[in-house]
Amino acid sequence: MQVPATFEYERADSVPHALELLEHYGPEARVVAGGHSLIPMMKLRLAQPEALIDINGLADELGGIAVEGDELAIGAMVRHTELLESATATDLFPIFRDAERVIADPIVRNRGTVGGSLCQGDPSEDLSAVFAALRATAVIQGPGGTRTVPVREFHQGPYETAVEPNELLIQLRVPVAPGTGSAYEKVERRVGDWPVAAAGAVLRIEGGTIVQAGIGLTAVGAAHFCAPEAEAYLDGRVPDAEAFAQAGRIAAEHCEPHADQRGPADYKRHLAAELTRRALARAAGRI
Amino acid sequence: MRITVSVNGQSYTRDVEPRLLLVHFLRDELDLTGTHWGCDTSNCGVCTVRLDGVPVKSCTVLAVMADGHEVTTVEGLERDGELDAVQKGFVECHGLQCGFCTPGMLLTARALLDRHPDPDESQIREAISGQLCRCTGYENIVRSIRWAATSDVAESATEAK
């Protein structure tokens, strides 16, 4: 029987209240949203927070998916199921549908949240690669107000993010531009598992050439979940099979996969190249 | 910490430690042992219950998180001595073998049919994909849920008349 160590439990009834509680309990407190990463870690005693601040009561305040100007705003408390079923989000960016369909299983997706997934900072997490490919911005609220951080600077290492102990991730903002296609490709050992490797691609094409490419990679040791060298290679090129294959090779060269129970490093590097190529081709086909 | 949880329409107030998991609250505090406890890692799904109508894995939800909310367990499926259509379906189509995964499967099936009264096989398989049947009896589980969908549709047609 797996039981977490003891902790204080508090329920936040507003964002300012959550921030007050974080201030009160200090850096040994953790925010819990869906809890599907944190609670298992607590059961294994890999995490032993002194206090849990439950923000499930803020599902409305920190919820919602809406286009605001030229950005898509996604609340941190949006649950995976909601993102998967949001026509607003998945029509604009099919990459969300591709990725969400292969994140855990439907019951876990009922509970897990978008913000929680990013804040967990797991190096194999899917949405981190998706938002990196989309060049999204994270909105973080603290005692002094809100600040924004590009998702590509959000992850500072395994399980480390830009969110300070007295701050809360409240929203993700994704730039919306015409002529954009997106896709996500993942290899998993069994349905609902963490990826062996996965790649996301976002392409904006104007007049037959690529004007901006976004490539997100997860589980392969890509710094900040992205592949800037491969993106730079694609800029200004004609979107064809050869360019996508070369971008895949460049992305694979610059990542640092580690061997583990999901596979050896060279296999993961091979997947990084191949999945990047496939995601780019699929993204281009969706414009 | 004192919590009040509505389980199958009945309100229960208990003093619990914040670290108590919902599955153990249901089984050990309320003696509702129909909710099974399996892998303890949110993989197998035998502990699935509905929290405010939504299927969740109760080994990964704290009991205190259910404070003020509504939980439905397998004990709450039967109404006035009448089995739910999903329960009848499992009887009719041999949907259970050892029975360990059955309570969770039944609740997921009910939640699916509440949202999609006429699901096809792929929708059923997707809906139960977070739950393991250790007897690997998926064929009959899918058949049982289809039986329940047909039965639900027939019943609502009768009511409409």
Q: Note the ipTM here.
A: 0.95
pLDDT at B158: 73
Cβ contact (<8 Å) for A6 and B18? Answer: yes
B43 vs B56: CA distance, rounded Å: 11
Q: What percent of chain A has pLDDT over 70?
A: 100
A73 vs A111: CA distance, rounded Å: 20
Pairing, β A137-142 against β A168-175:
antiparallel
pLDDT at B153: 74
List, in sequence order, every beta strand (DSSP E) within chain A: 8-11, 29-32, 51-54, 65-68, 71-75, 137-142, 145-150, 155-157, 160-161, 168-175, 180-188, 195-206, 209-218
B40 vs A240: CA distance, rounded Å: 47
**Residue A261 binned pLDDT confidence (cut-offs 50, 70, 90):** very high
Q: Residues A99-113: pLDDT tens digits? A: 999 999 999 999 999
A50-64, A145-159, B141-155: range with lowest mean pLDDT: B141-155
Nearest-CB residue to A105 (from B17, B60, B129): B129
Please count the CA atoms within 13 angstroms of the CA of A174 that sit on its side-chain side: 28
The model carries a pTM of: 0.96
Q: B127 contacts in A (CB within 8 Å)?
A: 106
Cβ contact (<8 Å) for B42 and A36? Answer: yes
CB-based contact A102:A197 (threshold 8 Å): no
As assigned by CATH, the class of the A8-54 domain is alpha beta
Q: Does B54 touch chain A (CB under 8 A)?
A: yes
Q: Which residue has the tokens 């409409």?
A: B160
Cβ contact (<8 Å) for B62 and A111? Answer: no
Q: B54 contacts in A (CB within 8 Å)?
A: 110-111
Q: Residues B91-125: pLDDT tens digits? A: 999 999 999 999 999 999 999 999 999 999 999 99
pLDDT at B161: 63
B42 vs B132: CA distance, rounded Å: 11
Cβ contact (<8 Å) for B129 and A9? Answer: no
Cβ contact (<8 Å) for B130 and A3? Answer: no
Tell me the torsion sign for CA atoms B139, B141, B145, B151: positive
Return the SS3 of B28: helix
Nearest-CB residue to B129 (from A6, A7, A191): A191
pLDDT at A68 exceeding the cut of 90: yes
pLDDT at A97: 98
Ordered by where they begin, the domains of chain B are 2-76 (3.10.20.30), 85-160 (1.10.150.120)
Nearest-CA residue of chain A relative to B38?
A1
| Mean pLDDT on A14-31 | 97
Q: Does B6 touch chain A (CB under 8 A)?
A: no
Q: Which two tokens stand for residue B156?
A: 């609502």
B155 vs A182: CA distance, rounded Å: 44
Q: Which two tokens stand for residue A221?
A: 């040791």
As assigned by CATH, the class of the A65-175 domain is alpha beta
Q: Which residue has the tokens 């694609």?
A: A234
**Residue A63 binned pLDDT confidence (cut-offs 50, 70, 90):** very high
- H helix or E strand, kind and range, residue A253: helix A241-253
**Residue A191 binned pLDDT confidence (cut-offs 50, 70, 90):** confident
Q: Does B55 touch chain A (CB under 8 A)?
A: yes
Nearest-CB residue to A106 (from B19, B41, B129): B129
Please give the DSSP secondary-structure letter assigned to residue B100.
Answer: S
Tell me the torsion sign for CA atoms A67, A71, A77, A82: positive
Count CB neighbours of B64 within 10 A. 22
CB-based contact A107:B45 (threshold 8 Å): yes
Pick the CATH number of A180-285 from 3.40.309.10, 3.10.310.10, 3.20.20.80, 3.30.390.50: 3.30.390.50
Side chain identity at residue A185, one-letter code: E
B128 vs B143: CA distance, rounded Å: 13
Which residue stretches of chain B have pLDDT < 70?
160-161
Nearest-CB residue to B60 (from A8, A39, A105): A39
Q: How close does chain B come to A129, measured CA to CA in Å? A: 23
Interface of A with B (CB under 8 A): 1-9, 11, 35-36, 39-40, 42-43, 52, 54, 56, 104-108, 110-111, 191-192
Cβ contact (<8 Å) for A9 and B18? Answer: yes
Q: A111 contacts in B (CB within 8 Å)?
A: 54, 56-57, 60-61
Q: For chain A, which residues make up each domain, given as ranges?
A: 8-54, 65-175, 180-285
A15-24, A187-196, B96-105, B113-122: range with lowest mean pLDDT: A187-196
pLDDT at B157: 74
Please count the CA atoms within 13 angstroms of the CA of A10 that sit on its side-chain side: 21
Give ∠ CA B27-B20-A17 in degrees, rounded to 5.
135
